[in-house]
Amino acid sequence: MIRVSEEVRAATAVVALETTLVAHGFPAGEGIRVGREAERRVREAGAVPATVGVLDGEIRVGLSEDELARFDPTARKTGPRDLAACAVRGETGATTVGGTLAVCRAAGIRVMGTGGLGGVHRGFAAHPDISADLFALASTQVVVVSSGVKSLLDVAATAELLETLGVPVLGYRADELPLFYRARGGPPVSARVESAAEAAALALAHWRLGGAGLLLARPPDDSLDDIEPLLGEGLAEAERRGVVGQGVTPFVLSFLHERSGGRTLRANRDLVVANAALAGDVATALSAAGSVE
């Protein structure tokens, strides 16, 4: 059911990349450019990109340029629970972090790069909405490189749940979990690391101890410190218009892109590709450090 490209199969250092952000995280067309650039940065770091998605029911690991271009907004958002249905029905699905991790587990991939992990939504006490990304991360031996969690979440609650699930949160040259668009002000990380090699060593030790996923959180290079009020406005507007569930993230992201004059779009693009580069460094360091056993 899973087709791994020849290039990925032959590689020792591999970085998985998701397709939900390609299809739904950016304005149409832009996501594909971001996906390509992320792949380029992984290669520059000496690793092979393994972009994951479902094409006509086939779960694919490693895509050609033309295949990547098929992940437009018509692709179904595919979390861990959706993979089987997508495969059996022959559909085209853009995998979330959680969906991508489920494929990583099956394919033996140990590093993934993305923008923001899913987590606990604001107002979860009234409307429980907790991303399957967290449970996939807690059950997959993989390092996920991100700039923290999705900006519109309850970050403190997400950090607590990551602790509950036993997921180490490593701060890349940072003591706090980055807030996606903002570098500072988040909850403390569980360990700070100064290099990709140090992150790889920590991951190997965690896996030897029987642990599973780790989050390697890299702050954005350009911190948008004034973005929080706009984020609040976007969430309020979504609620006013009755946007719910899977529609909320794309709605709020495009609201932000529009109202910030493109600043959030640039920030989002920059952090996704920089995280891919760091993920490439971690994959290279892991393959140099040898096997898990």
Q: Which does residue 150 bind out of Mn ion, ligand PSU, none, counting CB within 5 to 8 angstroms by kind?
A: ligand PSU
List the interface residues with ligand PSU, window 83-112 (CB under 6 A). Answer: 96-98
Q: Which does residue 154 bind out of Mn ion, ligand PSU, none, counting CB within 5 to 8 angstroms by kind?
A: none
Q: Which does residue 96 bind out of ligand PSU, Mn ion, none, counting CB within 5 to 8 angstroms by kind?
A: ligand PSU
Contact call for residue 118 and ligand PSU (CB under 6 A): yes
- Give the contact letters, 72-111, x = binds to Mn ion (CB under 5 A), - = no: ----------------------------------------
Count of residues in contact with ligand PSU, rule CB under 6 A: 18
| CB 274, min distance to Mn ion, A | 25
Concerning whether 77 is annotated as a catalytic residue, the answer is no
- Give the contact letters, 46-85, x = binds to ligand PSU (CB under 6 A), - = no: ---------------------------------x------
Beta-ladder partners of 54: 59, 93
Nearer to ligand PSU, 34 or 285 (CB): 34
HEC profile of the chain? CEEECHHHHHCCCEEEECCHHHHHCCCCCHHHHHHHHHHHHHHHCCCEEEEEEEECCEEEECCCHHHHCCCCCCCEEECCCCHHHHHHCCCCEEECHHHHHHHHHHHCCCEEECCCECCEECCCCCCCCECHHHHHHHCCCCEEEECEECCCECHHHHHHHHHHCCCCEEEECCCECCECCECCCCCECCEEECCHHHHHHHHHHHHHCCCCCEEEECCCCCCCCCCHHHHHHHHHHHHHCCCCHHHHHHHHHHHHHHHCCCHHHHHHHHHHHHHHHHHHHHHHHHHHHCCCC
Q: Which stretch binds Mn ion (CB under 5 A): 43-51, 130-138, 141-149, 168-176?
A: 130-138
Contact call for residue 182 and ligand PSU (CB under 6 A): no
Nearer to ligand PSU, 161 or 204 (CB): 161
Among 115, 168, 213, 220, binds ligand PSU (CB under 6 A): 115
Concerning whether 150 is annotated as a catalytic residue, the answer is yes
Q: Which of 47, 16, 21, 15 is nearest to 33 (CA)?
A: 21
Per-residue b/e over 35-58, b at no fewer than 16 CB within 10 Å?
bbbbbebbeebebbbbbbbbbeee
Contact call for residue 129 and Mn ion (CB under 5 A): yes
| CB 21, min distance to ligand PSU, A | 4
Binding residues vs ligand PSU (CB under 6 A): 18, 20-21, 24-25, 79, 96-98, 115-116, 118, 131-133, 150, 246, 249
Catalogue the active-site residues: 18, 150
Binding residues vs Mn ion (CB under 5 A): 129, 131
